[in-house]
Structure formats: structure tokens, C-alpha cells
Structure 1
Amino acid sequence: MQKNRKSPVSKKAGTSVYTVKEPMELLPFLLENMKKNSRNSVKSILTRGQVSVDGKMVKQHNHPLQPGQSVSIMQNQAAIKENTLTGVSILHEDEDIIVINKDAGLLSMASKNEAEMTAYRQITDYVKNDNPRNRIFIVHRLDRDTSGVMLFAKSEEVKEALQANWNEVVKERTYTALVEGVVRKKEGTISSWLKESKTFKVYSNPTDNGGQHAITHYKKIQSNKLFTLLEVQLETGRKNQIRVHMEDIGHPIVGDKRYGATGNPIKRLGLHATRLALLHPRSGELVRYQADVPKAFSAKVK
């Protein structure tokens, strides 16, 4: 079968135009011609209304294409909206959820007394660009100083469905942690009970102290004499869990003075939410979203 490999016949004003060579559905056609984009990215481009067939906007993945038709992709429509975002980038968007990569230093959402820019406020403004009645809902949060994958719902129903069944819906929560010192074990599991003090610091105890049981799994990726890079899997999702558990094993996260770090050579907390895999709230399909590990982390273990 002849493939639809073909450079755009034109590319101006941010729009790429492709000519259909053989009958096929729209999504496979886009995947074939947009090999530099991930499958999730291509789906998002469709959902955002950036694709037109013979001048008419089409969002359906299975829209049938016939030879001779023209498929236009407006590359800059999302870019114009996303250029207004500071400290966040869109990893995936569909009619139910938005997945972002949040920078370190940005609050997930503000308290009632805070007016600073947050991930929640920016993504709210982003969806309201399309329709002022659009809203978003936080499904889970990241600490201000933790970067990486964060999930929002586009309706209260989706948010509640995800939160109510979080442990069943979420199949993977992987973080990358840059910690102080040389972690000797190739992998390990940390289990303890975590309880928050009146000063909002979380304390760990090996036996039940009336707090919440927390379990963290880790694997060693790379190390040198000063630092170790770890892949960390959460079995439970407690406040400051990874930060406390790294202190428990004597290897606090780089830059985390609150939990035992001695310095901050990367000028940020060495913790990044790398991957989130879950059952999609509408299709039930297992979907996985990933944010690249910050280069500063890898540079410190070379």
C-alpha cells in the first residue's frame, strides 16, 4: 500500500496543507504526516479545531478521507494561546481533561489570601479564550517547588469521577528525584506513617502514629560521588511523601532544606513528576503523559 508520506504542498501563515493520496481515516493520515508529533499531540490538534478538510473544520478522528482532498493544519492556533502561558505548557488536551507540565516555583493553586499567578489561574484563562463559560477543576496538586505532569478536569463530573476512584484509575505516578549523596541500593521500598505538625512540616514514623501510611518505591538511575538520580514510584500519594522518605533513607532531595538538604546547587528542588498513566475518564483507555526530566538533574550526576 502506498503511504501518504508527502511534504506539505504549502506552508504559509502557520498553516500546513497536505493532499490525500488514498482513502483512509483522518487520524491515521495525520499521524503518518506528522511523525515528529506524539499521538497525544496529534489528537489534541484535532480536538482544538486546528484541522480542516477542504476548508471545513473537522474534529472526528475517524472522518473518512478520499484521494484529492486537501487537509490543512493550523500549526499556530494553539501556539498563539499557549504563548500567553508562563511556567506551564500543555502536554495534552481533549474534551474531558487538560494535562500540563508545570515549572518549579509555580503554585498549583492559590490560597484564599494569595493573588499571585498560579497554574490553575492560567489554565482557567486558557480555556476561557474559547468560551467564557469554560471552567477547569484541579484533580491533584504538585508542591510549588516540584515540576512536571499535572492533571486538570474540564467538568466537575470528570473531576469527581477521577478523585473518587483515584487509586483504581491511576496506574502509574513516576517522579524523578535528584538526591544528595550516593544511594548504595539499586532499588528499595520505604514504608512509614506520615503526620503533619502544626507548623505544616510532615514527620515520618516507622510504626502507626495516627498519621497516614505511605509507601514509596525507588530505583537508582545514575550517580557520582555527590548526587544520585532516582526514579521514584508512588504507591500512596501523601503530602510531601517523597521529600520525607528521601530524608528517611539519609539522602534528602537536592535543594530541600526543610527536609534535610545541605545545599541547592541547581537553584530549585530536585523533584520532578515525570509520568502519569491513567484510565481515560471517557474511553477507559490507558493513557500515559510524560514531561522530560530537567537537564539540570542529569547534569549533576555526570
Structure 2
Amino acid sequence: MTNQTRDYHVQEDQHSTRLDRFLIRTTEGVSRTYLQKLIRAGEVTVNDKITKQPSYQLQDGDRVCLTFPAPRPLDTLQPEKVALDILHEDSHLIVLNKPAGMLVHPANGVNVGTLVNALLAHCRADLSGIGGVERPGIVHRLDKDTSGILVVAKTDVVHRGLAVQFEKHSITRQYVAVVCGTPTKTAGTIDAQIVRSRRDRRRMTTIETGGRHAVTHYEILEAYPKFAFMQLRLETGRLHQIRVHLQHIGHPVAGDAIYGGEQRALNDADTVELRQVLVLLKRQALHARLLGFVHPATSENLTFSAPMPKDMQRVVGALRRAASGLYQS
């Protein structure tokens, strides 16, 4: 495939418009984040000069040229035949239920055993190349130890269409989690900006100003003496958002070793059964159970759900029995 180029001319009523805003308004089906990435990568020229500043102010009569790089070859990663729990597949996209313990794409030197490796075997060359050589088809991610639903794009057009929906927060993303302690409110909203921690680069943390806007809505489904089973809905989708937001309000996800939920859950386990299932969990008790979006190619409203995996079902079952006094030996 070759690069795709689009030319635009700035009109009088667009004078002094920021470069990124101009391209967002004139380029259909492309997200703000992706356009800013292209600008910073030198893929945009103004009057034949590369302009890498998204905030560059355009003048009446300027000629703007935007280049979409051709997808890079996918032959640097090895396809791996791994059984996938596919909820839906057509010629444009795949919706699947990712197991806990699987990386979505290669990272930190790990380039085998990822979802991308499995997708390369399943789809062969039929994956969007926008994500680059290590992330073909990947529109959004789940943490390695979070299970649940993902949508993967087979074509660049659908990839861009889905990316715009994520950018506009119009996609429905619902999770369930077991958390330590019980929030005082049965439902609420966590609105706290997020940045990467300076002390530990693996972690994200909240900050009053200067971070990325992040909003999580929650509802308690079941409350226990020292735990709660919650439903959460993402308004934004930042790295580790649910995990860091729940830690921020004092209720980390049970089993979360990075954000304090692993040891706290074990300390608060009141029964042998509960402690045993928490030890066996070996991950954060967080599952993406529902995903809803508009199909970019057909305009259908689609909603998919996936039940909790057995490890989380065992934790919730043990909590229910502990709360009712019906312990299992």
C-alpha cells in the first residue's frame, strides 16, 4: 500500500484556526489524537513546509497537506494459533472476550503470547495497520490482568471510525469489579485527573491540575462487610483509569498488586474460603463485561456482553456465603 495524501485550502472564515482543529473539522473519520500524532510526526505541511505544532495558527489562503502513512508490514511478529473467544466477526471488525493474563499487544520486550499474535494467525493480513507494526487492528486496550470485551478493526476506515467514537466518548464501556471496603454512597462519579507517577513508572496517580481528564461512574451492586461488588462505566478511557480512581477514593480493586488491593483483600478476608479464592485469583478482580458502539461500516447500534470469568465468580460466591454465614470448608 502507498501513502494517502489530502490537500486543503484555508478559507477566509478559518483564519487563525489552530492546525489540529482545522484538520479535525475537515478530515472525516479521524480522531483528534491520531491527527495530532500525524502532525508531530511531520506528516503535515503548510505551504510545503513541515509543521509539527498542533497549535500552529493558519492564515487565509494557506495550503495544508496531510499524509496518511501506508501501514507498515506485519511480518516482524509471529502469528500464534491461540483459541479466541469471539463474540462477533464480520469483514470489518471482530469483537472478542480477552482472558486475564494476556497482553493486548507486544510491550516491554514481550512479543509472543499476545492478543496481536493470536489475531495475526486468525485474520492473517486482514487487520488495520493504523496501530503500527506492533498493534495491528488495536483500537483500544485492556490491561494484561483485566478480562473482558475488546473490539478489533480489520480495515483502516473502520479503525478510524471506531477511534472517533472513543474520542467523543460515545462508546458504552461497562465493567464489574470486586473492591476493598464499601463506598459510603451507593452510586457516584469519580472525577479526578490522571498522570503517570514520578516515583513508579508502572503506576498512574491522580492530580488536581495538569493531568488528563478522567471520569468514572460507579454503582454498588452488592455490599459486604469489608468488600463491595460494583458496576463501573467509563466516560473517558485513560490508562489504569478504573484502578487508580478506585484507589483514589480508598477502595482499590481486590487483587490489584500495583494499587494496593492485593494485600488489603487478603488482610480483610474473614473466611478460609474467601482467602483461598483471593490467593488463586492472582490478578485484579476487574472485568469489562459490556461494550456498545455504532458499527462504522453499517451504522448498526451493537452491544455485546461477556459473563465474569470463573475466578471472579468464585470470589463473589465466597463473599456472598461469608456475608450469609454459609461457609464452605
TM-score under structure 2 normalisation? 0.61
Give the whole-Å Cα distance in 2 for the aligned partners of 1:123 and 1:296.
30
Could you tell me which runs of 5 or more consecutive residues in structure 1 were left unpaired when the two chains were aligned: 1-83
Write the letter of the residue equivalent to 2:291.
Answer: L
Matching of residues 58-207 of structure 1 within 5 Å: 84-86=81-83, 88-111=84-107, 113-128=109-124, 133-136=125-128, 137-168=137-168, 170-198=170-198, 199-205=201-207, 207=208
State the secondary structure of the residue aligned to 1:257: coil
Summarize the Cα distance change of 1:170–1:92 in structure 2 as closer, same or farther, 3 Å threshold.
Answer: farther
Q: Deviations over 1:34-90 (max 9, x none)?
A: xxxxxxxxxxxxxxxxxxxxxxxxxxxxxxxxxxxxxxxxxxxxxxxxxx534x411
Question: Which residue pairs with 2:63 in the alignment?
Answer: none
Percent identity of paired positions between Structure 1 and Structure 2: 35
1:299 maps to 2:317: yes
Summarize the Cα distance change of 1:257–1:112 in structure 2 as closer, same or farther, 3 Å threshold.
Answer: closer
State the secondary structure of the residue aligned to 2:192: strand
Deviation at residue 187 of structure 1 after TM alignment:
0.4
Q: 1:268 aligns with which of 277, 283, 294?
A: 283
1:287 maps to 2:287: no
Question: Which residue pairs with 1:250 in the alignment?
Answer: 250
Asked whether the 8 Å contact 2:169–2:235 carries over to 1, the reply is no
Give the whole-Å Cα distance in 2 for the aligned partners of 1:232 and 1:204.
18
Asked whether the 8 Å contact 1:229–1:301 carries over to 2, the reply is no
Asked whether the 8 Å contact 1:192–1:204 carries over to 2, the reply is yes
Give the whole-Å Cα distance in 2 for the aligned partners of 1:162 and 1:171.
9
Write the letter of the residue equivalent to 2:297.
Answer: R
Write the letter of the residue equivalent to 1:251.
Answer: H
RMSD: 1.8
Runs of 4+ residues over 6 Å off in structure 1 = none
State the secondary structure of the residue aligned to 1:182: coil
Deviation at residue 213 of structure 1 after TM alignment:
1.2
Summarize the Cα distance change of 1:112–1:247 in structure 2 as closer, same or farther, 3 Å threshold.
Answer: closer
Deviation at residue 169 of structure 1 after TM alignment:
7.0
Question: Which residue pairs with 2:29 in the alignment?
Answer: none
Question: Which residue pairs with 2:292 in the alignment?
Answer: 277
Summarize the Cα distance change of 1:285–1:168 in structure 2 as closer, same or farther, 3 Å threshold.
Answer: farther
State the secondary structure of the residue aligned to 2:117: helix
Give the whole-Å Cα distance in 1 for the aligned partners of 2:203 and 2:177.
20
Could you tell me which runs of 5 or more consecutive residues in structure 2 were left unpaired when the two chains were aligned: 1-80, 129-136, 267-277, 321-329
Asked whether the 8 Å contact 2:254–2:285 carries over to 1, the reply is yes
More strand by share: 1
Write the letter of the residue equivalent to 1:228.
Answer: A
164-173 or 224-233, which deviates more? 164-173
Write the letter of the residue equivalent to 1:287.
Answer: L
Deviation at residue 156 of structure 1 after TM alignment:
1.8
Deviation at residue 267 of structure 1 after TM alignment:
2.4
Give the whole-Å Cα distance in 1 for the aligned partners of 2:145 and 2:202.
16
Give the whole-Å Cα distance in 2 for the aligned partners of 1:149 and 1:105.
14
Asked whether the 8 Å contact 1:141–1:150 carries over to 2, the reply is yes
State the secondary structure of the residue aligned to 1:213: coil
Asked whether the 8 Å contact 1:104–1:269 carries over to 2, the reply is no
TM-score under structure 1 normalisation? 0.66
Q: Deviations over 1:257-284 (max 9, x none)?
A: 2112124613221110010100111121
More helix by share: 2
Give the whole-Å Cα distance in 1 for the aligned partners of 2:319 and 2:172.
25
Summarize the Cα distance change of 1:92–1:297 in structure 2 as closer, same or farther, 3 Å threshold.
Answer: farther
Give the whole-Å Cα distance in 2 for the aligned partners of 1:283 and 1:300.
43
Asked whether the 8 Å contact 1:229–1:297 carries over to 2, the reply is no
Give the whole-Å Cα distance in 1 for the aligned partners of 2:117 and 2:231.
30
Write the letter of the residue equivalent to 1:284.
Answer: S
Q: Deviations over 1:231-258 (max 9, x none)?
A: 0001111111100111111111011121
